[in-house]
Structure 1
């Protein structure tokens, strides 16, 4: 698992994403994270997962570089494989605390919202920037973001693609603890350890009740997200969005 650094302290498993500086994900990385979550589920001595990252960003989204599928069918299959691993992350039985530094953007926001709780800094930037790319939100964000911050506010963030910094994120419920940059990992670990001090069976049972039906809702919505992403990926507007982002310029969308 070269893309992850896994350790433990007490009853907490620490999973550190190791693709600096921005920790872009692909199917392989999500599979490794899901594997680590499932390993914790099978280990009675582990009670909580701490998900963190090495680098400037927690996760700046999906990796669109390298060898990408060249046909619409191949791109759809690639996205489905990626989301299958994301669903495995949501199915984990033990709580997840995320230490979120730098950017959690696009699919990276989806990864952050797969955690039960998020610890951030004043400079942490959260963004569902899909529409700025001529795209559709994915990673189950059309379920997880509204449930976390409300339908109207989630719609505002997804339709504008605007970025939310740490203090506002805390105010609207996008993160749960605000820490200094120097103390981010320590504060996240302290929260994980506080949860780990509770009855492990009680925590797991309570969490399961609170999340009842969540995975099923995400799985159903992912089908819609994948369908919309598949046709939008073939549009001129999506190509323009990707180019404009790479070139650091304003977009010129044509609705085609």
Structure 2
């Protein structure tokens, strides 16, 4: 029996495949991120694997944290609990996230649907993203009254440039797959039913190269990235801890659940 409960793991030739299996929206928590990190570490120790594809079942690639969890809502109504409780201890979540950035082999993310909040952080942890017009990319933290996390304050500016990252953060807008590709957030945009096949094609092209050359070159290109992400998550965690205690955060989560514009008070 597989030790993985929320992901599927397989190999096709020299490509490892990780499939998130929490449809339809593939919300993440510590357990899911830990399983992905474990699978990537196994690929790192497997000499036959030279590249990997990160894909997902369901409607979304990863819709981030499940702030709409009914159990959480009931608990909050009863105890005025924190809307972010469903994530578990965020500091532990980020420890697992940094493990993903420490993996040694190229990753291609097959983003066929929404990559929102921490789900965007997960997509950006890959080296490349294959997407489609129907996909949506959003760092919706400020719309929730929150601060970006998952290392996005480092990874997103490095990918799309500082000013584009500011635009994404400050507006919390959703980018289509086409807009994301134009901005450099995604590498390839194809019809939705071709996303995974195109991601496999790219991973297989990478896997045709020398495994030692790949390891060496990627280590150079991503030198220090995991350490920068670790430092970023330390700051992000401090800001998220402060903001999750505010009235605005609770209002932002509630407004998002109710699909309305939030009535923020700045407190």
TM-score by length of 1: 0.96
Preserved CA contact (<8 Å) 1:75 1:230: no
> Residue in 1 aligned with 2:196?
185
Aligned counterpart for 2:5 among listed residues 2, 7, 19: 2
Aligned counterpart for 1:55 among listed residues 52, 55, 58: 58
The root-mean-square deviation of aligned C-alpha atoms, in Å, is 1.8
- Find the aligned partners of 2:206 and 2:66 in 1 and give their Cα distance: 33
Aligned counterpart for 2:143 among listed residues 132, 135, 144: 132
Matched, 1:31 2:34: yes
> Residue in 2 aligned with 1:194?
205
Preserved CA contact (<8 Å) 1:76 1:230: no
> Residue in 1 aligned with 2:103?
92
1:84-140, CA deviations, whole angstroms, 9 ceiling, x for partnerless residues?
000000000011100001100000000000100000001111000000000000000
How far is 1:8 from its partner? 1.2
Q: Tell me which moved more, 59-68 or 209-218.
A: 59-68
How far is 1:71 from its partner? 7.5
1:17-40, CA deviations, whole angstroms, 9 ceiling, x for partnerless residues?
000000000000000000000000
- Find the aligned partners of 2:187 and 2:170 in 1 and give their Cα distance: 24
Preserved CA contact (<8 Å) 1:4 1:32: yes
How far is 1:62 from its partner? 1.6
State the aligned residue count.
255
- Find the aligned partners of 1:247 and 1:62 in 2 and give their Cα distance: 16
- Find the aligned partners of 2:86 and 2:202 in 1 and give their Cα distance: 39
> Residue in 1 aligned with 2:245?
234
How far is 1:63 from its partner? 2.9
1:23-58, CA deviations, whole angstroms, 9 ceiling, x for partnerless residues?
000000000000000000000001111000000000
- Going from structure 1 to structure 2, the CA distance change for 1:206 and 1:77 (only over 3 Å counts) comes to same
- Going from structure 1 to structure 2, the CA distance change for 1:110 and 1:71 (only over 3 Å counts) comes to closer
- Find the aligned partners of 2:156 and 2:19 in 1 and give their Cα distance: 23
How far is 1:216 from its partner? 1.0
- Find the aligned partners of 2:87 and 2:241 in 1 and give their Cα distance: 6
How far is 1:213 from its partner? 1.1
How far is 1:179 from its partner? 1.2
- Going from structure 1 to structure 2, the CA distance change for 1:111 and 1:219 (only over 3 Å counts) comes to same
Preserved CA contact (<8 Å) 1:95 1:115: yes
Matched, 1:141 2:144: no
- Find the aligned partners of 1:223 and 1:155 in 2 and give their Cα distance: 20
> Residue in 1 aligned with 2:187?
176
SS of the equivalent of 2:8 reads strand
Preserved CA contact (<8 Å) 1:61 1:108: yes
Preserved CA contact (<8 Å) 2:30 2:87: no
